[in-house]
A and B are shown apart, each in its own frame.
Chain A
Amino acid sequence: MFRLVLSILLATSLAAHADAPQLKAGTLSPAMPAPALGLAGTDGKPLDLAHYRGKVVLLAFGFSNCGEVCPITLATLAGARKKLGADSADVQVVYVTVDPERDDAAQMRKFLGAFDQAFVGGVGTRAAIDAAQKNYGISSSKKVHADGSYSIGHSSSIYIIDRAGRLCAVMPYGHPVDDFVHDLKILLRG
């Protein structure tokens, strides 16, 4: 009898641990519905996150003239999808521009396609982009150089939206491919 009780307790304890795998990303609790973007997609369709229900969405903000942060982020996300193999079909990367003055659909499509043809960009008017940034707490600031060109400093985290369309986690900039693979495997299982 004692052994039976002990076995049940042990099994329950193990199950509890098995039920709660920890993400490498920051976890938002409770997960809430991801705010709508209200933008156009680089695939020629309205960028509606509900369209990706059933997939895990990796959502980030950046711009095509970005020299460092965006290429690293996009290369990391492309690397994660590649490592996932067939499971990558259930992972959608959405990259929204913070530079609508220069990034139209064609420009973003070309930029994102250099990393992964399956990536979808988000474009729109300045007002629409500002609204999307506000909904996701994304800050950006323009820095004008002496020659008149400019760069944009911007939040560089990657939001993770689960299969049910809930904003459930956020990966700070700088995490390696394997951290994304780790978390995506957990989220795709769930």
Chain B
Amino acid sequence: MRLTPLVLALAALLWMGFAPIKLPAREWVFEIPKGTYARRMAGDKVEILPSEIRLTLGVQDVLLLRNLDDVPQTFGPSIMMPGQSLRLPFEVESENQFVCTAHASGQLTVIVEPEPVWPWQKIRWRVRGWLEKSKA
């Protein structure tokens, strides 16, 4: 009877380490809302996107950015017209510094991490995900 919490913890740890990591989509979607440029021009410090985005190869390794604003926005490698979206896939572990006019700082860092394969990597990936969610 006393062993139950221990068994449950062990089972949870086993699940975290061995269950395949699957998300509903490979894409991490961001939208630049309508009126962003106007708000910034009016002196409003608009922060829509995080300054750092972490992607994981094989799990979530595509950035999908939609420009719903009324003006063109430059995101990293490309300019996006109003109503246009940019689907940017990543295939290599890397750290990418991008220019982004949707950021107040004008900069966006995209960190692409390797796919978690080993149990301890999966556990770390899941724990970090939960911590980030709890902060948000």
Q: Does B129 contact A (CB under 8 A)?
A: no
* A24 to B78 CA separation, bound complex (whole angstroms): 15
A26 touches B89 (CB 8 A): yes
Chain B residues with Cβ under 8 A from A30's Cβ? 83-84
A27 touches B87 (CB 8 A): yes
Q: Does B119 contact A (CB under 8 A)?
A: no
Q: Does B99 contact A (CB under 8 A)?
A: yes
Residue among A28, A135, A157 making CB contact with B85, cutoff 8 Å: A28
Residue among A29, A137, A155 making CB contact with B72, cutoff 8 Å: A137
Chain B residues with Cβ under 8 A from A155's Cβ? 77, 99
35-92 of chain B: CB within 8 A of chain A: 72, 74, 76-81, 83-89, 91
Chain B residues with Cβ under 8 A from A171's Cβ? 77
B89 touches A157 (CB 8 A): no
B87 touches A32 (CB 8 A): no
83-134 of chain B: CB within 8 A of chain A: 83-89, 91, 96, 99
Q: Does A136 contact B (CB under 8 A)?
A: yes
Chain A residues with Cβ under 8 A from B91's Cβ? 24
A29 touches B84 (CB 8 A): yes
Name the CB-closest residue of A to B66.
A29
Consensus secondary structure, chain B interface: strand
B85 touches A24 (CB 8 A): no
Chain B residues with Cβ under 8 A from A151's Cβ? none
* A127 to B85 CA separation, bound complex (whole angstroms): 29
Taking residues whose C-beta sits less than 8 angstroms from the other chain, chain A's interface range is 20 to 34
A137 touches B79 (CB 8 A): yes
Residue among B79, B83, B85, B96 making CB contact with A172, cutoff 8 Å: B96
B87 touches A157 (CB 8 A): no
CB distance from B26 to the nearest CB of A (A): 10
With A22-B89, A24-B89, A155-B99 already in contact, the answer to whether A137 and B78 are too (CB < 8 A) is yes
CB distance from A149 to the nearest CB of B (A): 25
CB distance from B134 to the nearest CB of A (A): 32
A172 touches B76 (CB 8 A): yes
Residue among B79, B87, B89 making CB contact with A136, cutoff 8 Å: B79
With A137-B74, A139-B99, A155-B99 already in contact, the answer to whether A29 and B79 are too (CB < 8 A) is no
Chain B residues with Cβ under 8 A from A32's Cβ? 81, 84
Name the CB-closest residue of A to B81.
A32
A28 touches B89 (CB 8 A): no
B77 touches A28 (CB 8 A): no
1/0 per position for A154-181, CB-CB distance to B under 8 A? 0101010000000000111100000000
B contacts, CB < 8 Å to A:
72, 74, 76-81, 83-89, 91, 96, 99
A contacts, CB < 8 Å to B:
22-24, 26-30, 32, 135-137, 139, 155, 157, 159, 170-173
Contacts A28-B85, A29-B84, A32-B81 supplied; 10 other A-B pairs, CB < 8 Å: A22-B89, A29-B87, A30-B83, A137-B74, A137-B79, A139-B99, A155-B99, A157-B76, A157-B77, A172-B77
Chain A to chain B: the 5 pairs with minimum beta-carbon distance, closest first: A137-B79, A157-B77, A26-B88, A137-B74, A170-B78
